[in-house]
C-alpha cells in the first residue's frame, strides 16, 4: 500500500522550502503532487523518499542553484545526470 503525505509532513521530511519544492516540481525534478480531494493535495511517500535517496547517492549531480532550474535543462551534463537518475529510479 502506498502512503500519501500532505505538504507539512513532506516539508518536514525533505527539509527544503515550499518555494524550492515548487520550483523543482515545476521543472520536473521532484515528485509530482496529486489531489486527494478538490482542495487537498499529497505526495507519494515512496517517491519522495526515493528522490531523497537519489540526492544522497549522487551529491555531485545536484544543481548549484536550484532556483535556476530551467537554465540547467539545456546543459548536456545536467541532461545526462537526469537520465542516469531516471534509469536508477527504474531499477
Give the max Cα distance, the chain.
Answer: 39
pLDDT, tens digit, 9 for 90 and up, residues 18-71: 999 999 999 999 999 999 999 999 999 999 999 999 988 887 776 655 454 554
Q: Which residues pair with 44 in a beta bridge?
A: 4
The H or E element that residue 74 is part of is none
Backbone angles phi, psi at 55, to 5 degrees: -65, -40
pLDDT, tens digit, 9 for 90 and up, residues 7-20: 999 999 999 999 99
Amino acid at each position: 500500500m502506498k502512503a500519501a503525505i500532505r505538504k507539512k509532513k513532506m516539508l518536514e521530511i525533505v527539509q527544503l522550502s515550499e518555494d524550492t519544492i515548487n520550483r523543482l516540481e515545476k521543472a520536473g525534478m521532484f515528485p509530482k503532487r496529486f489531489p486527494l480531494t478538490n482542495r487537498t493535495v499529497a505526495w507519494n511517500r515512496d517517491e519522495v523518499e526515493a528522490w531523497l535517496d537519489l540526492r544522497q547517492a549522487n551529491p555531485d549531480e545536484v544543481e548549484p542553484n536550484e532556483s535556476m532550474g530551467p537554465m540547467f535543462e539545456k546543459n548536456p551534463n545536467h541532461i545526462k545526470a537526469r537520465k542516469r537518475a531516471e534509469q536508477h529510479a527504474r531499477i
